[in-house]
């Protein structure tokens, strides 16, 4: 074929392909069309009301082409219009390999329809919405190995359509009579127009098995043009097309058949009037057509199956260009339902792809998939296979198992988890929910835990059964929402052996002690009169109290000089300051050593006022949760801040925030627990919805008091951003003191800063392995947050890690406070949060042993190694031992403990009583 005729052919292709699409897709539907070619929008269209053809050039000029009246409704007329359009259209470029994109606007929605004019099979791709039927049938070649059951097709009466311009054609008559002899049915038509009309009309009911086209008289019937038009019509892929040619023409050109085959004919046949020959011919054609139809239907069924499965499926050609993807693939990776052929490596990588490219026939390996909406790839287990009828590969199939998804997964098996539905449609039946869920699925959101589960799931592939079982267990645990909820390591033993410890730890760690079914108490202020009322925020005026002068007597000064030692005499400070240790110690540490005033750009006077207001809002009547406890926690935080690890880590403003949090962390503590407040329906519990009641109140009141009055507002000179940062840190640290989240904070800290050093057992569940400190994670701010939380938490319960005499006094004080709560609960007929903490029966040593064993030791070990302060653990262990000895010695009640304390005091060198040093 010379270049000119080739070009003509190409042009014909375009015309026919386009025409066919016009006819089958747009006719009568009132579409507005735009064509995009080589990304150059220009073009055309069939007008809304069949008013002609428009040309819209570069979206600016609109040229209307009206089909002449005379040619309207005729095949020639329509073709003429389309040819006119295409002449202009093809002048844009001659690269016929490119798809032509047609933008179809209908009901305000723009759909892209992609047409490849030069292809025998015209692809139609709809960008929005579901594919149309013809898309399903056209889009992929049959797989190489279609199961025979799927392609079995029962014999059916033969349908023949003859297209012969000559009414009295003998060839046509012979063909028709052969069909009748074979028990089939024949129709004959005379022109292309009638043929195409009939095909469209009967498209769903009577698509013939065989169409015979008379190609002997091109002037009367352009057989090649018609063949292309037929192939461009819906549901005609399986039709067996026979071209009838003259013997002379047939014999003239040995490659002449190629033009027919390219146009869509299946066979070129020399004219014959022999009925027997025709009979054999049509029977063979029927069989071939039926087989082709069954294969196409089977392909459609397999494609539908792929679309409905939750695995992500992609099929490539031998060049690894993706030809077909299923809906899960599109949803998960953010692809459109049908994308033009694109290299798989744009979407996938990893071992699976390596195996696919090295010619493996069948493989299972992890694949990494890139999602359009998310920066990080996901790793999934993938099974793949190469398909080919012969030794050469025609297709490569990738089936990737989604990791845990929504929907109907079963529990307990990794397999079932991996099979968790990614198909959000399966979990909702109504369209609205489906849409919004589908949107959610497309959001670029993924929690790290999801990635972890994906990775773990991928790691099971090919792993030994013991490892798979271990990973399954791990994934099961990770899937629970209560990742950090406390689980006592030896709960049974604790319960059986020590109900007191169980009581205490249970109360500290769990909110379940709260009984929601209580009878309403009537009076919301159920706090006893021994505690200040906090049913409304208490902002006590400090006017009659403020004049604390930063003047200290010699003794106090001497004591404060030791403020940064771990055996700091906190109770002596309490005495020397007449129960106002916080302001003094705060001024010494925050104003002096840590220069919080410089960090916050406030003067010392403001700091002094602030400390005073904060201290005033602690309840001196509380035996434990008073300002001495606040001062003690402040002192511990200051001590920790002096450690090299933290000194080098925290900015001055962060250190200031830590000291502020420590000082204020229990402000206005009522001396009863959050559980008590919830049970009593206290206004604070109502205000904070029973969630983190006390801690929320401490944080909120701190800011309320601070911001209320310029004279105490230590934040007043901070710029907006710094204030926000400080506020964030203070709130975060105060909230971290909530004991129900104890294990959450501890586990996060340990997970981030400790690595298993060696000796890990195969099942990975062994917990007593040596941990080695790894501080590389400190470069990330969110991990520094974990450090700060851990710091205030350890400070908050550091009393058990103090030298023995301090630990004992704190234990006595907290026990007293617990007993008071129990007294009050009983008096008010409230549920008793810690029934074992009854002053008559409770063993204080045993409560301390439990507290140290279950709360203190692990945490202090982690923290002590981090800041290099072994005495934290040493003191805790020796206190534990001491309590055990006291327990064995029969020490039980408060009175017993006090007696021991007195004996110890007599044995210890006397301490001088200090003069009060503050002026009021």
Ligand X SMILES: Nc1ncnc2c1ncn2[C@@H]1O[C@@H]2COP(=O)(O)O[C@H]2[C@H]1O
Residues that bind ligand X (CB under 6 A): 504, 508, 666, 737, 739, 796-797, 799-800, 810-811, 814, 847-848, 851
- In the bound complex, what is the minimum distance in angstroms from residue 818's beta carbon to ligand X? 8
- In the bound complex, what is the minimum distance in angstroms from residue 813's beta carbon to ligand X? 9
Question: Closest by alpha carbon to 263, among 295, 220, 222, 235?
Answer: 222
Is 516 marked as a binding-site residue? Answer: no
- In the bound complex, what is the minimum distance in angstroms from residue 741's beta carbon to ligand X? 11
- Structure-block tokens of residue 360: 């493996």
Q: Are 662 and 497 in contact (CB under 8 A)?
A: no
The contacts of residue 93 (CB under 8 Å, 6+ apart) are: 37, 38, 40
Q: Give residue number: closest CB to ligand X.
A: 851
- In this complex, which beta carbon is closest to ligand X, that of residue 472 or of residue 503? 503
Helix (H, G, I), strand (E, B) or coil at 380: strand
SS3 per-residue string spanning 27-41: CCCCCEEEEEECCEE
Question: What are the φ and ψ backbone dihedral angles of 777, each rounded to 5 degrees?
Answer: -70, -10
Query: What's the CA gap between 272 and 246, in Å, rounded?
Result: 9
Active site residue 742: no
- In this complex, which beta carbon is closest to ligand X, that of residue 263 or of residue 844? 844
Question: Closest by alpha carbon to 146, among 21, 302, 29, 324?
Answer: 302
Question: Closest by alpha carbon to 101, among 32, 18, 36?
Answer: 36
Is 665 marked as a binding-site residue? Answer: yes
- Structure-block tokens of residue 359: 């010619």
The alpha carbons of the chain give a radius of gyration, in whole angstroms, of 42
Question: Closest by alpha carbon to 566, among 357, 302, 867, 125?
Answer: 867
- In this complex, which beta carbon is closest to ligand X, that of residue 401 or of residue 796? 796
- In the bound complex, what is the minimum distance in angstroms from residue 420's beta carbon to ligand X? 39
Q: Are 399 and 383 in contact (CB under 8 A)?
A: yes
Is 12 marked as a binding-site residue? Answer: no
Query: What's the CA gap between 228 and 15, in Å, rounded?
Result: 10
- In this complex, which beta carbon is closest to ligand X, that of residue 233 or of residue 623? 623
Is 729 marked as a binding-site residue? Answer: no
- In the bound complex, what is the minimum distance in angstroms from residue 753's beta carbon to ligand X? 22
- In the bound complex, what is the minimum distance in angstroms from residue 742's beta carbon to ligand X? 8
Query: What's the CA gap between 886 and 892, in Å, rounded?
Result: 8
- In the bound complex, what is the minimum distance in angstroms from residue 839's beta carbon to ligand X? 15
Is 628 marked as a binding-site residue? Answer: yes
- In this complex, which beta carbon is closest to ligand X, that of residue 514 or of residue 797? 797
Query: What's the CA gap between 107 and 352, in Å, rounded?
Result: 44
- In this complex, which beta carbon is closest to ligand X, that of residue 667 or of residue 800? 800
Is residue 361 classed exposed, middle or buried when 0-12, 13-18 and 19+ CB atoms within 10 A define those classes?
A: exposed
Query: What's the CA gap between 904 and 354, in Å, rounded?
Result: 75
- In the bound complex, what is the minimum distance in angstroms from residue 679's beta carbon to ligand X? 16
The contacts of residue 777 (CB under 8 Å, 6+ apart) are: 752, 753, 783
Question: Closest by alpha carbon to 212, among 158, 282, 284?
Answer: 282
Taking 3-state DSSP, the helix, strand and coil percentages for the chain, each rounded to the nearest 5, stand at: 50, 10, 40
Query: What's the CA gap between 526 and 518, in Å, rounded?
Result: 13
Question: What are the φ and ψ backbone dihedral angles of 159, each rounded to 5 degrees?
Answer: -115, 125
CB atoms within 10 A of CB 533: 11
Q: Are 299 and 143 in contact (CB under 8 A)?
A: yes
- In this complex, which beta carbon is closest to ligand X, that of residue 269 or of residue 736? 736
β-pair type (312-317, 395-400)? antiparallel
Output the CA torsion sign for 821, 826, 829, 833.
Answer: positive
Residue in 625, 697, 698, 875 annotated catalytic:
625
- Structure-block tokens of residue 198: 């009939």
Is 848 marked as a binding-site residue? Answer: yes
Helix (H, G, I), strand (E, B) or coil at 788: helix
- Structure-block tokens of residue 650: 């925290």
Is 892 marked as a binding-site residue? Answer: no
Question: What are the φ and ψ backbone dihedral angles of 7, each rounded to 5 degrees?
Answer: -60, -40
- In the bound complex, what is the minimum distance in angstroms from residue 644's beta carbon to ligand X? 27
Helix (H, G, I), strand (E, B) or coil at 471: helix
β-pair type (159-163, 210-214)? parallel
- In this complex, which beta carbon is closest to ligand X, that of residue 243 or of residue 800? 800
- In the bound complex, what is the minimum distance in angstroms from residue 737's beta carbon to ligand X? 6
- In this complex, which beta carbon is closest to ligand X, that of residue 646 or of residue 693? 693
Element containing residue 754 per DSSP (H, E): strand 754-756
- Structure-block tokens of residue 494: 């604790």
- In the bound complex, what is the minimum distance in angstroms from residue 508's beta carbon to ligand X? 6
- In this complex, which beta carbon is closest to ligand X, that of residue 851 or of residue 863? 851
Helix (H, G, I), strand (E, B) or coil at 387: strand
- In the bound complex, what is the minimum distance in angstroms from residue 836's beta carbon to ligand X? 12
The contacts of residue 176 (CB under 8 Å, 6+ apart) are: 160, 162, 186, 188
Element containing residue 368 per DSSP (H, E): strand 362-369
Is 625 marked as a binding-site residue? Answer: yes
- In this complex, which beta carbon is closest to ligand X, that of residue 192 or of residue 800? 800
- In this complex, which beta carbon is closest to ligand X, that of residue 289 or of residue 891? 891
Give me the residue label for tokens 């390996």: 365
Query: What's the CA gap between 662 and 625, in Å, rounded?
Result: 13
Is 318 marked as a binding-site residue? Answer: no
Which residues contribute to the annotated binding site for AMP? 625-629, 666, 796, 848
Which residues contribute to the annotated binding site for Zn(2+)? 629, 665-666, 796
Q: Which residues are catalytic?
A: 625
Which residues contribute to the annotated binding site? 625-629, 665-666, 796, 848
């Amino acid at each position: 074929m010379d270049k000119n005729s080739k070009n003509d052919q190409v042009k014909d292709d375009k015309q026919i392909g386009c025409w066919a699409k016009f006819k089958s897709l747009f006719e009568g539907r009132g579409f507005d069309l735009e064509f995009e070619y080589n990304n150059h929008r220009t073009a055309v269209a069939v007008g809304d009301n069949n008013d002609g053809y428009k040309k819209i050039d570069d979206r600016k000029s609109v040229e209307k082409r009206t089909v002449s009246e005379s040619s309207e409704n005729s095949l020639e007329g329509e073709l003429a219009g389309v040819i006119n359009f295409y002449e202009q259209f093809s002048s844009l470029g001659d690269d016929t390999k490119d798809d032509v994109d047609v933008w179809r606007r209908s009901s305000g929605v723009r759909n892209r329809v992609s047409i490849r004019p030069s292809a025998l099979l015209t692809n139609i791709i709809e960008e929005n919405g579901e594919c149309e039927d013809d898309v399903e049938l056209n889009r992929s070649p049959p797989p190489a190995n279609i199961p025979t059951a799927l392609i079995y097709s029962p014999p059916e009466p033969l349908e023949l359509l003859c297209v012969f311009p000559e009414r009295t054609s003998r060839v046509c008559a012979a063909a028709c009579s052969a069909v009748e002899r074979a028990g089939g049915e024949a129709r004959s038509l005379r022109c292309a127009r009638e043929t195409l009309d009939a095909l469209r009309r009967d498209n769903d009911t009577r698509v013939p098995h065989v169409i015979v086209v008379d190609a002997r008289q091109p002037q009367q019937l352009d057989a090649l043009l018609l063949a292309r038009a037929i192939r461009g019509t819906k549901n005609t892929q399986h039709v067996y097309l026979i071209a009838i040619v003259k013997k002379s023409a047939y014999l003239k050109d040995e490659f002449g058949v190629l033009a027919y085959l390219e146009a869509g004919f299946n066979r070129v046949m020399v004219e014959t009037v022999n009925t027997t020959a025709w009979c054999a011919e049509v029977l063979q054609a029927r069989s071939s057509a039926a087989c082709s139809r069954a294969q196409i239907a089977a392909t459609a069924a397999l494609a539908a199956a792929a679309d409905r499965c939750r695995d992500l499926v992609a099929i490539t050609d031998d060049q690894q260009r993706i030809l077909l993807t299923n809906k899960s693939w599109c949803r998960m990776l953010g692809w459109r339902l049908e994308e033009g052929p694109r290299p798989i490596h744009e979407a996938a990588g990893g071992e699976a792809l390596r195996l696919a490219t090295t010619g493996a026939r069948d493989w299972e390996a992890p694949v990494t998939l890139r999602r359009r909406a998310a920066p990080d790839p996901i790793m999934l287990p993938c099974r793949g296979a190469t398909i080919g009828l012969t030794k050469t590969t025609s297709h490569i199939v990738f089936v990737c198992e989604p990791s845990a998804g929504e929907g109907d997964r079963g529990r307990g098996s990794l397999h079932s988890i991996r099979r968790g539905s990614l198909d959000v449609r399966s979990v909702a039946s109504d369209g609205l929910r489906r849409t919004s869920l589908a949107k959610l699925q497309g959001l670029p959101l993924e929690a790290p835990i999801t990635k972890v589960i994906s990775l773990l799931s991928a790691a099971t592939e090919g792993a030994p059964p013991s490892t798979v079982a271990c990973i399954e267990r791990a994934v099961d645990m990770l899937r629970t929402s209560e990742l950090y909820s406390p689980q006592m390591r030896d709960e049974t033993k604790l319960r059986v052996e020590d109900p007191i410890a169980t009581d205490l730890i249970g109360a500290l760690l769990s909110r379940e002690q709260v009984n929601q079914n209580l009878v309403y108490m009537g009076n919301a202020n159920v706090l006893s009169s021994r505690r200040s009322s906090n049913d409304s925020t208490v902002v006590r005026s400090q006017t009659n109290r403020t004049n604390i002068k930063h003047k200290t007597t010699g003794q106090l000064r001497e004591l404060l000089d030791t403020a940064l030692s771990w055996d700091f005499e906190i109770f002596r400070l309490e005495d020397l300051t007449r129960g106002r240790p916080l302001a003094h110690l705060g001024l010494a540490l925050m104003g002096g050593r840590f220069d919080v005033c410089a960090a916050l750009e406030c003067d010392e006077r403001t700091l002094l006022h602030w400390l005073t207001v904060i201290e005033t809002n602690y309840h001196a009547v509380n035996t434990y949760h008073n300002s001495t406890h606040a001062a003690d926690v402040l002192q511990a935080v200051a001590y920790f801040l002096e450690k090299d690890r933290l000194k080098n880590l925290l900015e001055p403003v962060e250190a200031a925030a830590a000291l502020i949090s420590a000082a204020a962390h229990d402000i206005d503590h009522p001396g009863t627990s959050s559980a008590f407040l919830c049970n009593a329906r206290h206004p604070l519990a109502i205000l904070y919805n029973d969630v983190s009641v006390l801690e929320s109140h401490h944080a909120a009141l701190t800011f309320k008091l601070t911001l209320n009055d310029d004279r105490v507002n230590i934040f007043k000179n901070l710029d907006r951003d710094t204030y926000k940062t400080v506020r964030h840190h203070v709130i975060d640290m105060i909230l971290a003191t909530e004991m129900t989240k104890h294990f959450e904070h501890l586990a996060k800290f340990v997970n981030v800063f400790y690595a298993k050093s060696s000796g890990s057992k195969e099942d990975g569940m062994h917990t007593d392995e040596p941990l080695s400190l790894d501080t590389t994670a400190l470069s990330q701010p969110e991990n520094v947050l974990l450090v700060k939380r851990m710091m205030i938490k350890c400070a908050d319960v550091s009393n058990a890690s103090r030298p023995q005499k301090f630990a004992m006094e704190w234990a006595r004080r907290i026990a007293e406070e617990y007993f008071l709560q129990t007294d009050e609960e009983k008096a008010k007929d409230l549920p008793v949060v810690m029934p074992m903490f009854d002053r008559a029966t409770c063993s204080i040593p045993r409560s301390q042993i439990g507290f140290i064993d279950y709360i203190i030791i692990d945490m202090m070990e982690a923290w002590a190694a981090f800041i290099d302060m072994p005495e934290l653990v040493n003191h805790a262990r020796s206190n534990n031992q001491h309590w055990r000895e006291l327990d064995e010695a029969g020490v039980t009640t408060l009175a017993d403990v006090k007696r021991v304390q007195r004996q110890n005091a007599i044995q210890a060198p006397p301490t001088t009583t200090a003069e009060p040093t503050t002026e009021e």
